[in-house]
Amino acid sequence: MLFSLTLYTRYMFDFGEMHGLTAVFILLELMMLSVQLYFYLIWPYHRSRLTYLILLVLLICYNLTGGIFPDQDIGWVSVPVQNIIAYGSGFLMAAYFPYYFYSSFSLSSLRFHALYGAPFFLLFPYLVFFVLLYPLQGDLSFAINYGMIIPGLYSPVLLVAIFRSIRKRFSGTELDHDKFTRLEIQAVYWAVSPWVFMCLFAYLQMPQWVEVLFTNSGFVIIAGLFLYQSGKYERNERKRRQQRDALEEKQQADFNQTCLDMGLSLREVEVALMLCQGMEYKVIAAHLHISARTVDTHAHRIYYKLEVKNKIELQQVLGFSN
């Protein structure tokens, strides 16, 4: 089945030198992106989901540009520009990792790497050797051999810093275990880890399928983990809503029965509930489609029957609680 899917996607994604495995990963990641986007649109205040969406978009762009470029048959973009774009997507993806961990999982000890380290040690060498020197010299090998030195040395340092930040987060006493789990953070960490070899892959000119397999497999795995976490969260949330609705229905039934036992009519029960909720007469009138004068009449009868003087005493007598 996987072989058939590979052949199908290779036919559908006929982009010159793109490997079939790259097309398969792009297809899977597009499906992952659509699911994550759906969950994000339902609740757009989920910041970690937004940062993960950006991560997926960067990963898809990396695979697309790496799979398509360079291709001399693409006449509207020169080969040097294609190489700049292809390598740039990889550098941008790698530079985003520390910010993703820093922002999504609240790893405050990664602040330096997220805001300063990655831009300086990853993006700056790319700008110097690939964007500035490569177009002038026309020598891609020179850009790769020298432009990868600083990122290659910095990548293991960054990986160790992320690992220490994760360990530090789970070594304290005040942790948000309900928000993030050790498994979730570590899964993302191991998905990111192969990217430390990207500089080596570029230097050795490794085949595209090897590079794609190393850099994408982990993200497919954590996508399944995230979907499981999302499903679990939705199930728990629905269960909480059902329990809350059942409790509200019981409280409503008890309140109505208390009012009836104290001699209130059905209409007075409705008015009494809204009075206990703190509504003004004109608001109650709008809800019940009656005049404010009629509401005032009902309120006086309720106060008279229950021998209370104001809303606070009414809540106490009827046992109302918000």
* Residue 271 near residue 284, CB atoms below 8 Å: yes
How many Cα atoms occupy the beta-carbon half-sphere of 144 within 13 Å?
18
For residue 277, which amino acid is it? Answer: Q
What is the per-residue pLDDT for 49?
Answer: 81
Cα torsion for 311, 315, 317, 320, to the nearest 10°? Answer: 160
Residue with tokens 């774009």: 85
Interatomic CA distance for residues 127 and 130, integer angstroms: 6
What is the per-residue pLDDT for 18?
Answer: 59
For residue 27, which amino acid is it? Answer: L
Pick the CATH number of 262-318 from 3.30.930.10, 1.10.10.60, 1.10.10.10, 3.40.50.920: 1.10.10.10
Q: What are the boundaries of each domain within the chain?
A: 2-238, 262-318
DSSP per residue over 206-260, as a string?
A: --HHHHHHHHHHHHHHHHHHHHHHHHHHHHHHHHHHHHHHHHHHHHHHHHHHHHH
Look at residue 132 and give its three-state secondary structure: helix
Interatomic CA distance for residues 177 and 278, integer angstroms: 38
What is the per-residue pLDDT for 15?
Answer: 42
Dihedral sign from CA coordinates of 60, 66, 67, 68:
positive
What is the per-residue pLDDT for 54?
Answer: 92
Whether cis (ω within 30° of 0) applies to the bond prior to 70 is: yes
At 113, list the tokens.
Answer: 């790497």
Look at residue 307 and give its three-state secondary structure: coil
Q: How many other C-beta atoms lie within 10 A of the C-beta of residue 104?
A: 20
pTM of the model: 0.66
What is the per-residue pLDDT for 19?
Answer: 64
Q: What angle do CA 252, 254, 256 make, to 5 degrees?
A: 70
Q: What is the mean pLDDT of each run of 10 residues along the chain (322 residues)?
A: 36 49 85 85 81 89 87 88 92 90 86 94 95 93 90 89 83 51 73 73 70 75 70 81 88 89 90 90 91 92 90 87 66
Interatomic CA distance for residues 57 and 54, integer angstroms: 5
Computed over its alpha carbons, how large is the radius of gyration of the chain? 31
* Residue 12 near residue 23, CB atoms below 8 Å: yes
User: Among candidates 209, 320, 216, 213, which has minimal Cα distance to 275?
Assistant: 320
What is the per-residue pLDDT for 232?
Answer: 76
